[in-house]
Structure 1
Amino acid sequence: MAYARDPNSDENDSNRRLYNPYQDLQVPTKMLYKLPTSPEFLFPEESRAQRRSWGENLTYYTGIGYLAGSSAGAAKGFKSGIKSIEATDTMKLRINRILNGSGHTGRQIGNRCGIIGLLYAGLESGVVHFRDSDDVISSLVAGLGTGVLYKAASGPRSAAVGGAIGGVLVGLAIAGKQALKRYVPI
């Protein structure tokens, strides 16, 4: 236990001392919290790879897609829930309409965006594996393929439009990332 020092007391008072949890350890406490600035790898092969593994990529894009879609869907459902409120509704019924609208629309759009993220991550990892190159072309091909696969059940015309939309969205994302790297100092 730490005792507060009395300013009028003698420094050599033998029955009082400050508690130091590191006094019996042979650890340099100054170096205890200096963490490395670069990632630490178990195997040297891991340090040469400059991208996430396919499993990490799959989890990342699926999770980000579901989270973003659920948030946007919840906002859209909130808006539709507020529009569906009638003048004769009680407060409990109004809250219920809003929550039901938010939850239902949030789940629907979140699942759709999660599937799109899953398709994109799988296609991107496959294209990178077969081309043995992680560049802009791999991302664009994965975006085109994702749009085509997502809309394939609606017919060839819808699949072509979906592929074009997927390619354009990935192109915009790549251009935005390059602009952020260039113009936003970190």
Structure 2
Amino acid sequence: MADSSAFRGDETDRPQDSSGRRLYNPYQDLQIPYRTLYEIPTSPEFLFQEESLAQRRSWGENLTYYTGIGYLAGSGAGASIGLRRAVLSAEPGDTFKIRVNRVLNSCGQDGRRIGNRVGVIGLMYAGLESGMVAARNTDDWVNSVVAGLGTGALFKAANGPRSAAVAGAIGGLMVGAAFAGKQVLKRYVPI
């Protein structure tokens, strides 16, 4: 069995100056005469132990993550829908250039349209979820389900109250099902 200190680097071999700062030389193993020392912080990353236990992204990271994932997923789904539509609408006398042009135009149009919609849904969901965490001062599944309800209702609010209520219920059910599936995977699938 290999010594684990060889893989992570033993902290006792790092030089310290008189003030107790840890110094790091990235070239120490390469026998290069050029020596640059960097200060490594000695303080803990989190001030309180509870902060280190909570594994949560900040609201800005959450906003960027859900919006980006939504846009990419929507663009991919829209491009595949556009590809299917372009292939089904091909005519027997079309040249190869016309078919490729039709596929590219259709994929781009549908991908852009659906990607933007799903990206906006991700943006609203992330904002509502971060707002719920800040308002309730707790991070649990209720925040996510309520954010899903609110996102569906806000996204379809312009179509009327009935459509908003149905979309809100669908959003809440989708988030609830995602959380239930995540818990089942954590419990029954070894990683």
Per the normalisation by structure 1, the TM-score is: 0.77
Residue 136 of structure 2: which of 131, 140, 145 is its match?
131
The verdict on how the C-alpha distance between 1:183 and 1:88 changes in structure 2, with shifts beyond 3 A counting, is same
* Cα offset, 1:131, TM superposition: 0.3
Q: Which has the larger radius of gyration?
A: 1
Letter in 1 for 2:151: T
Question: Residue 184 of structure 1 corresponds to which residue in structure 2?
Answer: 189
Trace 1:1-150 onto structure 2 (pairs within 5 A).
22-24=30-32, 42-44=45-47, 47=52, 49-150=54-155
Decide which moves more: 47-56 or 160-169.
47-56
Quote the residue 2:25 is aligned against. none
Percent identity over the alignment? 65
1:156 aligned to which of 131, 145, 161: 161
CA distance in 1, matches of 2:91, 2:145: 47
Aligned mate of 1:169, from 132, 153, 174: 174
Q: Once the two structures are superposed, what CA deviation does each residue of 1:149-182 show, in whole Å capped at 9, x if it has no partner? A: 0000000000000100000110111011111111
Q: State the Cα distance separating 1:47 from its structure 2 match.
A: 3.2
Whether the 8 Å contact between 1:74 and 1:103 is mirrored in structure 2 is yes
Is contact 1:62-1:115 (8 Å) kept? Answer: yes
| Contact 1:70–1:109 (Cα < 8 Å) also in 2 | yes
Deviation at 1:142, TM superposition (A): 0.4
- Write the distance in 1 (CA, Å) between the matches of 2:47 and 2:70: 32
Stretches of structure 2 lacking an aligned partner (at least 5 in a row): 1-28, 36-42
Note the C-alpha offset of 1:22: 1.9
C-alpha distance in 2, partners of 1:22/1:124?
48
Q: Distance in 2 between matches of 1:41 and 1:97?
A: 57
* Equivalent residues, number: 154
Aligned Cα root-mean-square deviation (Å): 2.1
Moved over 6 A (4+): none
Amino acid aligned to 2:91: E
The 8 Å contact of residues 151 and 158 in structure 1, kept in 2 or not, is answered as yes
Equivalent position SS for 1:44 = coil
Q: TM-score, normalization: structure 2?
A: 0.75
- Given that 1:41 and 1:47 are in contact with CA atoms closer than 8 Å, whether structure 2 keeps it comes out as no
